Structure 1
């Protein structure tokens, strides 16, 4: 029995050892062998527990699942698997992160995968985990770069040869242009400003994060770090509405994109892009946000582990969700087995759809073997037999393909990167025809109908052959003459004063794509026959019809008040068959609304750094059923002008950073420009001013080198060391920061002394004059020069409340000389402050200023000239953003109201008067536009810094200090006997009006009887506005001792006052004597009550001289005698 237990124990241990064995790629092992203990290695960790995606995919096909159900099942299964299996390893990684042994990490659900950037010790520990199955380097990918480029002009009249070669134009003739479909590329980005791409971006009408992803750069607006991504996207869907130039296969499709193949194009960035593409809006229950096809023209250059499970699980998941994945074959031909990973993966015939390139001109010329020599060949290195082994799958035009470049023009490029988007565009066309098919099903149609070229049959040069999208179209449906069913349930719902909503059930049709369009018309009389229908006014139905049986709706706007309208619809199928006309439905619009706004103006007085919220109530006061549609804008912003009334803008020198204008080791001397003191505004409205100017910023140095976070993750932009030519980031600001009107929340730091809102893909050691369209753009330049932090210096960053600080400390120039310490502070209010602390180097070779994203607007302070100096502060600021509203548009039914909140923010804006118009535009025919003036006075407050009271005998001395005053008439000093509710005015002291200087005040309240008193100040503005201070308490007591006080005034002429105190009732005599002791007069000779007493002495009849005054007080407790001198001077 014991022997059996021992055997079972060793079997268990042996089994665990086998199970725990992790497949580690040879390149990761090599990286570990060459790494220092404190190096960080980016590693992909694939967990052992994976969703059986192929089984789930087969199940969904067997169930004939809808695309919506398919996507939901796949996405949620993957997310649940990651959620339930990653907790343990993520906890371990988080601990290592806290210790500093992991620099960064990211979890993925698309493939139950984690990217870990950790030290070798961490990576080695993960290798021994039983929940891990495979590990690989987070390798740098490469684009299939074109082998040839020629720039071209617009060509609006002709049709691109590639479009004709694949017969896409034949589908256009049927109205199939990709409308309603979404294409995507994972590439170098897309140039949004290109006229053939700009209006096609889906982000024009959905949030940007549902239409663009930049995992590394974090940009929110599409841009291209190369020409490649713009060119491939143009081939998919490029069309210019201004010139009509059409280079795209599916010109009516929209596009979304991922920018991952730029600087440091790690594999994990592309995996993140695939995961995002499966669910751009974050809701697995929707599919309208998903692309129909993703075109890829990149590869992993590693020649080991070519059938990596990391790629396979990722791409299988995307395909299972219903998205078509297409890859270029590569440009490494004509040798065999030159197709690299991941495009050599062959799960099935079309899973990783690999596209070779043909020479279109040769094909049109009759060449039956038009393969491009550079096109990579199969077979796949991932095994299999028959079609599984053959690569590529199909071919498409890829030589001298004209499409968009990264500016606003067009270029001819050659490469399989040009062939792949032809296939992607073809898939978009077919998805319009058969929107309910998966990407795999559509790829099979292209695969099975491709034109055989070269060697008969499927081969490792062309695959199945040249795609024919029209043949694929015909394979998916047979033309017929059957019309769609008639719509019989058209109704009018949701009437408003100017709109009606039509609703009906989508009809059925025998074609694969069902109904593809509607003809909707209206008239003022019933539409009962074809003649009436043809005479009715047509309306445009936006978008594509839904599937049969779905509820359709259409909003018809711009209608007259209180009018009866009639509508009718007919539908058509892809073969051009029209249905019978629907029933005629009628509906009445509502009456005209009547707008009312209360109040009709708003005015506020704010102190600095104050926020005040008020409301304007908009009402529809019509007594008839009606709807008020309104929109609000804030216009005509006026604010206190600065002392600057001269606009000085240096002309930018047309140079490009990082080009031949300067050699890094032998820089040329270039004369520059500087403007002293202040300048601007630029086009946007930014102005600058420095601390040498009146009203400029104060130089305040807040050293963060000991409290901030050190920047360590420098990324090289070329072959130089990254701390010489590189950048770091992104770093989260912790607040929204507006730069040229665009909200930013993160920043990048360049080693060359500038801040950027995007990454750069080239060296920028040559500073340039700004603004300039040359890279870099969207920058803040405190000191842009050829700087170098390899041997000396640090960079730190820190968020402090609403400020984000970046500090360069002892940073050197490339020459290895000097020491530069300076700071940039970004404030949530949009201000930019730069502080120069210790600038011990040549300071006449730098650019100082700011520039927008397009490079067509900016503010240059200095360029290659003497400006920067120690202990200098520099500020950039635009128009004050002092007023905002929470409601820009809406609808109000009669008898209802809505409150529009207006938020006033004074920040630290200049003192003075601000005004803006709240313009309310509505459909009230009698009052279509109303203007509500809104004003704000940013006033210096009466800022009381001190209020004190001192008791001197029977009087109270009140003192107070103000730091600032605005419109201050003065102060009434008020007194109250403690225990009573009444306040009496004790006196008034004149104020200083408006002042920013410290002011001191004093008031004496005399002859008070003993008791407890309260005092307060009543501050009065010139306009009558009153403010009260808090009260202070004092006590006036009976004297404790007998005393005779020095007369006042002294010397005197001719009269003076003599004061004395009695702790008890006493008989008092006060006599005046000459200096020789002769009695002159007696002022008091009677019984006097206890307290503070005084008596006046008039010496108008006496000559100049010294006199004595004496008190003799005989009380119950003692007799008090005291004598003092006084001086009369006439």
Structure 2
């Protein structure tokens, strides 16, 4: 069976049985949905849930026309329309109540809706038939359960950090970003399976945090209080609207805030009905419950759902009132058209609505990676099901192999019109940032008329008006009526390294661009809802500025202090509210600051189905909850239990200088000497990975008290091979940043494994392996080094219910000492140092420290797993050489001849088939100097200079 995305299936259609007398068919066809009509004869005595929609009255027409009234201010227009819609709903309900009082029908009203002139009732089929005769009733539909159909295609993706995805470039989102329109100050919403609210690509911009009101940003029929997503569909959709994952832009409006109504297939036994979606429409019309506020209103709602053809009548109007009223309030609704293509007339309800070109904005999918942007075969086609003269969909957007966010902090590829629709919803946020007062009709018109014509010439039933072009669309938008202030970056005037370190007080200057109009007396007010920093001075005056000018508040900066024990790498989201000289609010902007780290600092987790491990690009591994660098990553987890409090690199030179990511003297947080490198960011599961899963990051030691001048690449790799399922490989490649320098260094690691403070230590010097264990619990975690001898091993004890602090002097002594400590004899909470022999490296050279972290159930099991890990790393060739006659026993790289002063040497090698190849150079001590080749290598002869 082929699965399709972005749509619903009705799981149950409630039946109705005629009892006592026949129900006139004329009445049934007038007011009862086709679903009820087909099943009325099956169950007449039991009460069922149904939605009763009332006929619109004169006041409803006033509400619909109000968008054309010349009220240019969004807030004023919203309040006027809302009053009209609520009044109309009350009038309609009163008229129905009058008819009900004169009828013999007996019903229980469970809920009334003002967004759609409707009520949810419990009633017998016979009583529903009586309601269908009321003049005030327009339609009665069963409150049917709904199910989201899976996407057309799903695939895991490597997380490659930096830049923007090609699908975003295809719609020219990057062109608006360059103009300063990134979605800052705007809000996008989805009606979907939920969102992973902890995903680092979205977490800081959830409106529940930024506004301090979770209930205004998360609606769940099952009353959870924090966004989650059992399916993954909703997280992917939200990522396409507003996602930024560790520098990799996957969302059209990467600075927008987001909110979600989790009213579509939640999974895990949860079900949703039509009434849940109607409740979501009403919630979205006033999320904070205060009709005097408008900053809680979304600019766009993305709907990746629909009713399959044949369940409801063609162009059934169940959702029309809710959609119309919501759009008159100023909220653009965008619908995925469905995945039943390429057959004609397969667009789903309500995307198939044909009452006007702008009434139901449906979106099809194209393949952005193929010239000409062909419409995807699965994308549903028009025309509208109830009127073959109405062309559908309205527009198309990329929807084939689209990368976005996946619950758990990673990414994946998905295909479907569910992926196309959020491109359009994100585009709405950018256009609303340009003109916050633009109406729904103005925005839709701009997107339609500016679209790039593809497929057949002119509008057609495959691509509509064509592929959206946001850069062109802005030319068809009405000019804004007041200045827009756009965030352009921040500076830390007078700060030596440009990083806010723990307990440091800094001045914060925010760069802005003045758009559209001159502004007199611009003020900015800074705030944050997050812990980790204190704002000491929150107001800044920018002065009078002309449209198009850039400015900064360096003469009156904000003042911020980081908390003393804030975790390095913590991301703090700030908001600036901008006001003119009269105190009139203009707009706001959001930006993130990484505390005690570069803004390019990132972390991520990988797993192989049994083991999960966290890593980062500033020298540490684990980063689980409660660790020295608590980033909420996986730590070192078996069966979801994390045993790793600390695992970090430590390097000391022969002058006693130390650069490390180990705990500081407080025993609470990392010393944080390594700063994430700008150029490389973080790579999670790259295509060229070694193993089944890998995280790669790079850093330099610029944050150290006395930097040694180090560059470090950190790789954490995992395999699913038998014997390696519970092993993580950690490789540090260490070099000097100065190509002309030479340093004597000693490198090692410090670690702390916890079995609730009840562990002993073991040591196998022949394997360069130490281990933490509790034999009664059957828990063993080994940490060993591969490829070189163990120079030093030293353990330390932690106080009860806390952790020992470590000074730089203690760290230097531990790695340089050359001593192997005797082991403790009592159960306690321990940590340890271990190091490789000292080495002298020069500029252009490197040395490698390779460690393994292994989970085992016994000492014997641990030794077997270490040996498997050793063999995996030290036997990299696929050649069959059981008798030792094929592979050479050793290689020697000699001085150049005849000219020994030639600075370059060419090494030639060949492979008989395409495979993974590693070519490394070692010194006479057996220490790796440099890796020349690593990764997939094609068949043939190769040269390395």
TM-score, normalised with respect to structure 2? 0.50
| More contact order relative to length (CA 8 Å, sep ≥ 6) | 2
Please state which structure has a larger fraction of its residues in strand. 1
Which of structures 1 and 2 has the bigger CA Rg? 1
What TM-score do you get using the length of structure 1 for normalisation? 0.42
